Structure 1
Amino acid sequence: MSYIRRITIAKFRGIERLDVDLSPRDGTKFRHLILTGPNGSGKSSALELIHAALPKLTMPAQPSAPCHVGLDEQPHDGGRGQIVAFFQAQRLLRIEEVSGPSKIDWMNILRGRITATQQTVQYLVNRKVEQSLARDDGDQAAVAAIEAWFAELQGHLAHLFEDPALALHFDRKNFTVSLRYSDGREVSFAQLAQGHSAALSIFFELLLQSQAHREEFKREQLAGIVLIDEIETHLHIRLQELILPFLTDIFPTFQFIVATHSPAVIASIPDAVVYDLGKREATDSADLQGVRYGTLMTHHFGITADMDLDSTAKLQRLRELAGRARSAAEEQEMTTLSDTLSERSRTLALEVWKIQNPSPVRALAGAS
């Protein structure tokens, strides 16, 4: 099982220098990497370089290569127990319709000739038919094992969709699979909202890639290196919080290398290095947990304030007027600003009150 311990990139596109140490802490096999930074800082380029380097890991490193990936150990079996997957920023679930049970060509999935996700419904239908045949044969152990597998799968989906009663529904006549919500709604995978579609495109790809390795190489113990660009694509803020814990819980032997602009992502798991390509700074993700998202936006992502730009500008103007002598026109402007901001939110109303009623300490500081 091979995991990345260090990544070094020098002078490639927008990346002047990246050198990040992913050596694990005591008791862990690996650490994940979360790349951040402004647009143009090289997050996507870094993921592309890392992905391009991974198939060459059994070959000697080239001194002139712009990217060097250091592993804890070299693969000894041609990578048969190792999954490498790269998800680019724009992704949605693409699943082929099926007409009945049919054998899946797992080797073509491993060779990249077939996208694993397209075979999702085929795989689910095959498993359901296998369960039915096992029941006819009186093989209750197989029936129970497949039933437990489906129950676990439904549990994962229910967690991701935040609907405890979510269930898979099979139409045995048309060989279709849909999702049935607790409120009675029923949707096919093709009808899913883009956020859920984007999240499931990752989940089902890894699920079927894992199965392909088990079928072809008879390996139960799998390791994986998974690269995801803009993991928050299409995701509501709640899904942004859930997606990385969801994936790392289900695939605990997979190391994730992701790029993001989301504070909900960088603070979502404890065992990761958060590397800012703009500042060239590494932070332990555990140090970001418990920090307000507004603070992460201002301190980590460089946003000038933790509220909208218009309100921030109006507050700044109000403070400026309050701190000096004013003309009659400025008195009216100050009143208008105070009323406008106070009507927007309780938070802003409190800020206005503080400006209008400075504490003696603040007043003395201002006078000095």
Structure 2
Amino acid sequence: MNIICGPNGIGKTTILECIAQSFSGQFVPILKRRADSSEGEVLAWIDDISSTESAGFKVTEFLPARGNAYTQPIEHRAKNLLSLKVARTFNYQPLDAVAKDVRKDTAKISTENISGLNISEVKNWFVNRHLYSAHSDSLTGAQLHNISLAKEFFGILNSNYKFSRVDASSNEIMVSTPAGEILYEYLSSGFKSCLSILFGIVKELEFRFKELEVKADEFSGVILIDEIELHLHPDWQAKIAKILTIAFPKSQFIVSTHSPHVIQAAQLDEVIALQTDNGHVFRRTLPETQYGFQGWTIEEVLKDVMGMEDTRTLIYHKTLKEFEKAVDDDNYSDASAAYEKLDSLLHPENHLRKLLAFQLGALKG
């Protein structure tokens, strides 16, 4: 698990796009050189068990209407990268008939590496596998393994949710929840975002490696996920990276995030924190601790990992300055007014309130 964090505009998504490009072998308008440069260059090396391949390329174009030179995609590279973009939730999708698997040739795979996995294919794939699993010898051993794995994903975030059935009359995927049985499209956006990642990976591996019969939890390629925390409650943001590494233990994940909860739960050396200084982007040096940041507060993660200079609001700082100035000026009236405002702004259990009250009392005396 590799978690890239940093402020907006620093290039987190661009890094993911460059990795996708390195595997895919064709250029798209999203990759442009910097405005102050004549060209850009990406240097990449792809390692597998037996060899290391160079996959670097140059980017010369700046205008959106013009693309860079096209290069023929390389099949074994393209197949071994999966990319998930920010569009990961989905609406209700009627399934009037169960279709056969989508054919994925190298060109299509390469295109989807750049545009992102097609999550609209998931429902048909799931229903197809579930229905055919009841018929002996209809599915391969890997397909049976993968659909069993996929059914377990419904409860991976919350054990109170379970796959229930596929309705034979409507091809609807039904989920058992604490509130009763519902269509899987009726799950929350956070649930659907997670399932889009999990199901999308399994579905795509079956379509790409049909002849090899790859079991999803044995896939050892690269999986890119932009803004991994999207639609998730902070509690699930803290779980999502661990869930993915449990579900796909041999894969290499490279993800971006703006969430301190994702970083707080990360393991040692999983976080790549980016910072900029006068236009130069570099990797921040982070403390080497045995447990990563799992004992840090969210505020400490925001400041010392993500580079957030201040975690309080402008109105708080303005009012605090007014209070401090009034104290320096021995102006009890202004200090009292500022204190009343701070008293309303602060958390009910904040110990700073007592210190401010002590200062105000001393000024009155």
Calculate the TM-score normalised by the size of structure 2: 0.71
Higher relative contact order (CA 8 A, sep 6+): 1
Q: Aligned partner of 2:11: which letter?
A: G
Give the total of aligned pairs: 309
Quote the RMSD (CA, aligned, Å). 3.6
Extract unaligned runs of 5+ from structure 2: 27-38, 54-73
| Aligned: 1:306 with 2:299 | no
Partner in structure 1 of residue 228 of structure 2: 231
Does the 8 Å contact 1:273/1:282 carry over to 2?
A: no
Q: Aligned partner of 2:338: which letter?
A: L
- Structure-2 change in CA distance of 1:150 and 1:226 (3 Å): closer
More deviation, 86-95/231-240: 86-95
Once the two structures are superposed, what CA deviation does each residue of 1:236-279 show, in whole Å capped at 9, x if it has no partner?
22222122211121011111111111111123231514231436
CA distance in 2, matches of 1:81, 1:230: 22
- Runs of 4+ in structure 1 deviating by more than 4 angstroms, as ranges, are 75-78, 113-116, 148-152
Alignment of 1:18-57 (within 5 A): 32-55=1-24
Partner in structure 1 of residue 165 of structure 2: 169
Partner in structure 1 of residue 188 of structure 2: 193
CA distance in 2, matches of 1:157, 1:80: 31
| Aligned: 1:296 with 2:314 | no
Equivalent of 2:330 in 317, 323, 326: 326
CA distance in 1, matches of 2:221, 2:12: 20
- Structure-2 change in CA distance of 1:257 and 1:150 (3 Å): closer
Alignment of 1:66-215 (within 5 A): 66-73=41-48, 74=51, 78-79=75-76, 83-93=80-90, 96-107=93-104, 111-112=108-109, 116-134=118-136, 152-160=149-157, 162-184=158-180, 186-189=182-185, 191-215=186-210
| Aligned: 1:346 with 2:348 | yes
Q: Percent identity?
A: 20
Does the 8 Å contact 1:116/1:208 carry over to 2?
A: no
Q: Which has the higher helix share?
A: 1
Q: Aligned partner of 1:45: which letter?
A: T
CA distance in 1, matches of 2:239, 2:211: 32
Does the 8 Å contact 1:169/1:178 carry over to 2?
A: yes
CA distance in 2, matches of 1:122, 1:154: 14
Partner in structure 2 of residue 21 of structure 1: none
Partner in structure 2 of residue 269 of structure 1: 266
CA distance in 2, matches of 1:298, 1:43: 18
Does the 8 Å contact 1:101/1:126 carry over to 2?
A: yes
More deviation, 271-280/287-296: 271-280
Calculate the TM-score normalised by the size of structure 1: 0.71
Does the 8 Å contact 1:83/1:225 carry over to 2?
A: yes
Extract unaligned runs of 5+ from structure 1: 1-31, 58-63, 364-368
